[in-house]
Chains A and B, each alone.
Chain A
Amino acid sequence: MEFFFHCLQTTLVAAEFPGGVVIGADSRTSTGTYVANRVSNKITRITDSVYCCRSGSAADTQALADIVSYRMAMHEIEMGRPAAVRTVANTFREMCYQYRDDLMAGILCAGYDRTHGGQIYSLPIGGMMVRQKVASGGSGSTYIYGYLDSNYKPDFTAEQCVDFIRKGVSLAIHRDGSSGGVCRVAIITANGVERRTFTGDQLFVPQ
């Protein structure tokens, strides 16, 4: 039996727009060269208004997301108000940094809170945390740095931002062997979260 662990070689993208954030991911989970799950959901709920995109080892990131989600639920009960996005990202960062030799987890933590609006925090492998307006992660992200840098505008509407994310993930899927499947997108605003799935025929294919 092969002993490759379940890996999220992946494409994750996130972008801020005035009013919230849009995050997107592909849906391929591979074990070595075999695709173990071609419709996986890499956008995980931490709290009602903070979601995270997971890349790296599936087991590590699922366990991390579980633990952080539990701690944030306790935090919300103790504080009497929803956790801020920075708090969630910081909780992730604490664990990712402390166990950096044992974990393989790249996380994009994004959400909306009333104090600072939409925020995206990038936590690459190693335990760094940095806030970015546009962030990407996973093996497929290397193929779309140019696209993201040249096409992002800070004053996108929600729909334009979704289109930007969808095209980004599609281009990465087109070039990266470890990314594939469908494109999952989540739009997080003050009104809540809207989830969308773009199947193969709805992905952007360059001519």
Chain B
Amino acid sequence: MAKNCNFLVIFQCKHQSIVLQLAQYTLRKSPVPDCNRCSCFVRNAALESSGMALPKAVKTGTTICGIVFKDGVILGADTRATDGSTVASLNCQKIHYLAPNMYCCGAGTAADTEQTTKLISSNLELHSLNTGRQAPLSTALKMLAQMLFKYQGHISAALVLGGVDRLGPHIYSVHPHGSVDRLPYVTMGSGSLAAMAVFESRYRPNMELEEGKKLVRDAIAAGIFNDLGSGTNVDLCVITKDGAQMLRPYDVANVKGARQERYRFKRGTTAVLKTRLRKFDVQEEEVVSMDTSEASGSA
């Protein structure tokens, strides 16, 4: 397991090769690389020693889940992002696009899940252009699992990957350390226990679409109402062999109450002391584009 290295600063450091070197350090026990090139280590160390606390990464708290139903898979997620005990975002999107036939829900640190899925989505597109065919789910799964294992759990991304490929519908759960489980129904995130309770009591194989959507909605709702880290709306994504359909929001589980009165101040409540009128001379501006392509240039 990762030891003897200060990984706290990784979240602050944007220098990719340093992160890789540090990850490799834990695996190969080579001497600590010279970090003088990356000034943020020096800066972070100085700030920490002067008593400043490291800012916490925005986590998503979260309830995410996925099921396999008769014609495909249904992925569900709540929409609350937390920063400690403050709600950083009321309506963030946790179901990320990977490929036209694959979506991935992410729990854990918001930046980690977002960037990991974006990276793998981009690699999948290149892979599919290279091979000339739609990549199967196992390709995305291997890419995600191998990347997370490489970073030894320091990329805090717990994912529910779901999609339909030529071999049928699949749901996988990927844990931050890189382990993978293939199951008919999975839940992840802080609300996973609440959602799993719903699944364990009501899941059946080969459910119909409406029944499946209701089950996923109820599982996420269980997370929203019983877990402090999850809240607001339920997003769904239904993937069948005909394509994917994002339902955002599928259910507004928490409707903000309507205000009883109008709380605006009347005009004249604040006294006007002075009025000054300035005229602006507006000139028309026209932008003419020049053709600078090679074909039109002179040799």
Contacts and interface: CB of A to CB of B under 8 A. Distances in A.
Interface of A: 1, 3, 5-6, 29, 31, 34, 36-37, 39-40, 57-60, 62-63, 99, 101-102, 104
* A-B pairs, 7 with minimum CB distance: A58-B179, A59-B177, A59-B179, A59-B178, A6-B179, A37-B181, A6-B175
Given A63-B149, A101-B29, A1 B177 contact: no
Given A5-B153, A58-B175, A40 B29 contact: no
Contact of B145 (A60, A62, A99): A62
Interface string B157-199: 0100000000000000101111111010000011011000000
A60 B149 CA distance: 8
Nearest to B26: A102
A1 B179 contact: no
A34 B179 contact: no
Contacts of A59: 148-149, 153, 175, 177-179
Contacts of B177: 5-6, 57-60
B74 interface: no
B149 A40 contact: no
Q: How large is the interface on B (under 10, 10 to 19, 20 to 34, 35 or more residues)?
A: 20 to 34
Interface of B: 1-3, 26-27, 29, 59, 61, 107-108, 145-146, 148-149, 153, 156, 158, 173, 175-181, 183, 189-190, 192-193
A1 B145 contact: no
Nearest to A1: B190
A34 B158 CA distance: 15
7 contacts: A1-B108, A5-B175, A57-B177, A57-B179, A60-B177, A99-B27, A101-B29
A125 to B, nearest CB: 12
Nearest to A62: B179
B80 to A, nearest CB: 14
A102 B59 contact: no
A6 B179 CA distance: 7
B178 A62 contact: yes
B11 to A, nearest CB: 14
Given A1-B158, A62-B145, A101-B29, 13 more contacts: A1-B190, A34-B193, A36-B173, A58-B175, A59-B148, A59-B177, A59-B178, A59-B179, A62-B179, A63-B146, A63-B149, A101-B3, A102-B1
Contacts of B190: 1
Contacts of A34: 192-193
B156 A1 contact: yes
Contacts of A31: 175
B111 to A, nearest CB: 14
A10 to B, nearest CB: 13
